[in-house]
Structure 1
Amino acid sequence: MKKTLSILLSFIMLLSIISGLSFSAYADTFSGYNYTVINGNEAEITGYFGSSPTTLEIPTNCNGNTVTSIGEGAFSDRDDIQVVTIPATVTKIEDYAFDHCTGLKSVYINGTSVTIGEGAFYGCTSLVGYGGTGSIASLGLNCFTDCTSLKTITISAATTSIGNAVFAGCTALESISVESGNKYYYATDGVLFFKSGDTSLIAYPEGNTATSFTIPDGVKNIRYGAFSNNKYLKSITIPATVTNIDDGAFNKCTALKDVYYNDTEAKWALVSVGTEENAGLINATMHFKSEPDPDPIVFPDVAEGAWYYEAVQYCAQHKFINGYQDGRFGPNDALQRQDFVVILANIAGADLSGYTSCKLSDVQMSAYYGKAVAWAVDKGIIAGYQNGKFGVGDPITREQVATILYRYMKSPAVSDVDSKLAKFPDKGNISEFAKAPLAWAVENNIISGMQDGTVAPKSTAVRAQIASIIMRMDQNGMFNA
């Protein structure tokens, strides 16, 4: 009897304990959505069983529970959804949430500091971009892998973390930009970099059709998958500041033939280069500097840490661009048209001795630029204005720089001009004569967009910008073609 009573009391106590427990997670449905309640009153969308939709608006709440996340694989492998709007209440999109939604074209994210998980949009082959009023805190590993329709993408100012190979297999991706104010990432020439701590090159777009690229000085790391699958790059210049190249950084770069390292072979031996999935780099022909750099030319207005320092030194030491008589270089000064022609004559090593006249009425042959302009007219590099003048003293514009360089390079064929310029919102401001030259310059990474995404064809080019352009072209062998 005592034993029976003891068992009964124990059972009653167990029931009282169980009744005191609160289960914080349970599954339910709402308007065609499956969801799970988490953390008491938050809902995570786990699937959709409603009628086949093309446009889907995720609800802000399910039966009074605030929707805060899209669950792992919630919409995976659906081909019917084309547009998804995610409300401001959602702060997390879990791994593979929209994996292989092959019909998905647009995603509108409206939450603040949203975390996007691994492979969240993996294989969304129709996706052309995301928008909305929200901000994104992190992009997980492979989150946009194989999004083959993605052409451009903008990283949020709030983004603090980007996983490896986020854009792997995005074969149409031409350019990456970063919103101003981001403390961790930036983009230059459409290429994504990490700037906190050791500067790293994160992603070079697979759809960038340029055949050469110069990694900016100061970059230390080239991350996993950075250049992978790019089928266009034939040559790349690596600065002496690079100390590490990850495995897979140049995976399947089948066109890469020449790698130029801006230091000696002995210094290259000290660079940590991953041997896994890096055949594109390992099989390329390496080119090294055989002699130490000459003593730097001191310009009081060119600080050693300035972004243009290397380019100014390069052009000055090669006698492409000279400083002023007072010793300054004038990096932020507008470059005048005649001075750009003088620079090209210096690069060409042109024999100007035979030029005694010029058909352009404002060109004085006795002036420092006279013979160079006459040479450029003779070679078909410049034609002057419709009024018969050259425009001596006029600041040179970005589209004029592109046009003169294009003619200097003997006007190479350019295909799909309009498509190459389509990404620039101010493309309508480009003069007709400059469209093919600008498309060529953009394709070959000679001129890139401004920080606001425009190409600014009528903006004045400054001397530091010209030095950077000339250095890149010369290092990539374009002036030897």
Structure 2
Amino acid sequence: MRKKNLFKRCILGALSMALLVPVVGAVSPPVVVQAEDISQLPEPTDEWAAANGWVKEGFDYVKSEGTLLYRLKYTTTYWEMQENSENWHWFISVEAIDPYATTGKVVIPSSVDGYPVLSIARYAFKNAPISEVVISEGVQEVGLAAFEGCKSLQSVSLPNSLLFLDQASFSQTGLKDITIPSSVKAVGTDALYYVSNSITFEGNAPEVLYADDGSLSVYGDVVVNCYSNTTGWDQFSLYRLTDQGWVTSTDINIIQNGEPPVVEATSVSVSPASVTLDEGGSATVTATVEPSDATDKTITWASADPSIATVSNGVITGVKAGSTTVTATCGNASASVAVTVTAETEPDPEEPGTDPGEPTPDPEPGVTLPYTDVTPDAWYYDTVADVYEKGLMTGMDATTFAPVETLARAQFAIILYRMESEPDIAFEATFKDVTDGQWYTDAILWAADASVVTGYSNGNFGPADKINREQMATMMFRYANAKGLDTSQRADFSSYPDASSVSDYARDAMSWCVANGIISGDNGRLNPQGETARAVCATIISRFYNAYDLQ
């Protein structure tokens, strides 16, 4: 292979780390970010980060969701470095937590918690056994060797916002065909090496970086296509590996008759087609556009009644009890999701497997809540007051409890840790994503030592992952066993319509919770995979504490 000029890239990358400094005067981030507002995005606060599941790491913030790790940082993208831009701003880069454990389809979102995803990090998915990549509109660059060596990769959808494919970004993959959108301004010389059938450029010839003669490295008989109404191709060259070795050529296939034909979206399908949520709970819906080669597969999401449920990039969040629809639209095609939002209620004597008794006593007289968002007429007032009085749950700040916000795994570990009177814990590297000195470190390490939590198979705990109802049941069950409490009680919950949805590992714990009136159903359902709002958590924890008269 030819010598590549990577010196400028290395210097710029080093400078970006050496000069990284935080912005002074932070304010809370906006809920929705428009592309033109990127340079004006505020610095996140530690309070905002904790509430949204982000962990401080140096000057950055990191958050894991599923198999993906998001890094929120204040700097420029690598493309902006190439352009010598001084436009520093907050943005997110994405990578796999463990590339070797990342399989199947990977979807890169356009934003997370109000900040834009602009970059796929260097080496982000290198050698991952993935088969399909969908990169959402808004992403601007694919980093150095981001998908290099992904031998199972068969399909890639690139957004019209993409500006830069870095060196080896899609090198040595299983791709046979790839289409490069007209927005792309530059590619690394080896970015598309080993694509075996066709490379089609929809726009003008991009700049080829890191090659002395500015030519694009390609493999074998791959056909490189461009369109007759685009420019720059008369100066574009290929460096092709043939049976006779490396050969420089200009054999670009020109497709006549102007721009590529527009393929309209004919249908949109959504999965699942209906969701049921608690207030504050959320669920992700996937939309699929047909045909797969539609020119524009951009999905627009809309809620018919945002006062009941909101939607952002397919993530539906319950606001208040009621029913509405969420619609996914692409061009003239659309599909709808039926959304039902319910509130956690006191046990119903008619509900199967519940105790209509009084599992949670009223708080002691004189308890006054400081929270302006928990009113005395709220169904959860007594249980919030109970856990507040016992010191098990605190507010997001001095006057805000945030009853409908969902709870993270780390936050629930802290509640149990407080129940155990917060014993001293020496740091031990138990989970890859739990480092020393974090606000949740002691609680998670105590929970692991007590066998209350076990973490994921990839070695992570997922502190920021939203906890669901069956995970909560399992952690309480393990905690009760660790304390030597009587956990022999069991209830037959098979009459719940979603009983079969309870995971095998959680069935004993869920049966125990139902038998003790700790979990009494969510609108007639167990909702085992449903995320848990803070008010619901307060109710469940209060029932658990008082069922065993823990002191």
Q: For the superposition of Structure 1 and Structure 2, which TM-score range results when normalised by the shorter chain?
A: 0.3 to 0.5
Identify, as 1 or 2, the structure richer in strand: 2
Relative to the length of structure 1, the TM-score reads 0.40
Which structure has the higher relative contact order (CA within 8 Å, separation 6+)?
A: 2
- Structure number, greater radius of gyration: 1
